[in-house]
Chains A and B, each alone.
Chain A
Amino acid sequence: MMSQVELYTFCAVILLGMGMTGLILNQHIIRKIIALNIMGIGIFMLLISTAGVHSGAIDPVPHAMVLTGIVVAVAGSALALNLAARLKDMTEQADD
């Protein structure tokens, strides 16, 4: 139907849109973090699918950027989850 690059670019933009909608419309904090990670997966797919456009050697710079991006995304998710847990602890203590 489409070439490989076009197919994965399409998938990446759809993932981005789904992630944005999920981020705004969900209420629970863990669902928001899942939606944020899905947006991240979409952006990485966009970067890597366009890296293999030209035949010949695959461009390694988007691969390196996505590798950095995955590690920073997991660090950001960890920070967000820890902050949510501490916020819950503090508001629970305040309720007593």
Chain B
Amino acid sequence: MPIDSLLDHLLVFGILLFAASALLVSKLFSAIVLFISLGLIVSLVWIRLGAVDVAIAEAAIGAGVTGVMLLAAWKRLR
């Protein structure tokens, strides 16, 4: 199997694992941290698919700003 295809399969496996963990894990703080990591792996996938603008935006906005707001809301809603 060529290395590109192996990388794609590993990324997809990682994404599905992290997404399932973010929805199933019992502590809410761990779920938020897993969601931020999911956003960073998805940013790698965008680069693999040739969408570099979307990758920068996903890393900054999708993982960064959404993650910080989720953490602030978690602190507020306890």
Contact = CB atoms under 8 A, between A and B. Distances in A.
Interface of A: 1, 4, 7-8, 10-11, 14-15, 18-19, 21-22, 26, 28-31, 33-35, 37-38, 41, 44-45, 48-49, 51-52, 58, 63, 66-67, 70-71, 73-74, 77-78, 81, 84-85, 88
Contacts of A66: 51, 54
Contact of A48 (B5, B20, B51): B51
B73 interface: yes
Interface in B1-59: 1, 4-5, 8-9, 12, 15-16, 19-20, 22-23, 28, 31-32, 35, 38-39, 42, 45-46, 48-51, 53-54, 57-58
Given A22-B23, A45-B42, A84-B77, A34 B31 contact: yes
Contact of B62 (A4, A21, A22, A73): A73
Interface of B: 1, 4-5, 8-9, 12, 15-16, 19-20, 22-23, 28, 31-32, 35, 38-39, 42, 45-46, 48-51, 53-54, 57-58, 61-62, 65-66, 69-70, 72-74, 76-77
A29 B49 contact: no
Contact of B46 (A14, A48, A74): A48
B22 A34 contact: yes
A51 B54 CA distance: 13
B70 A81 contact: yes
A68 B69 CA distance: 19
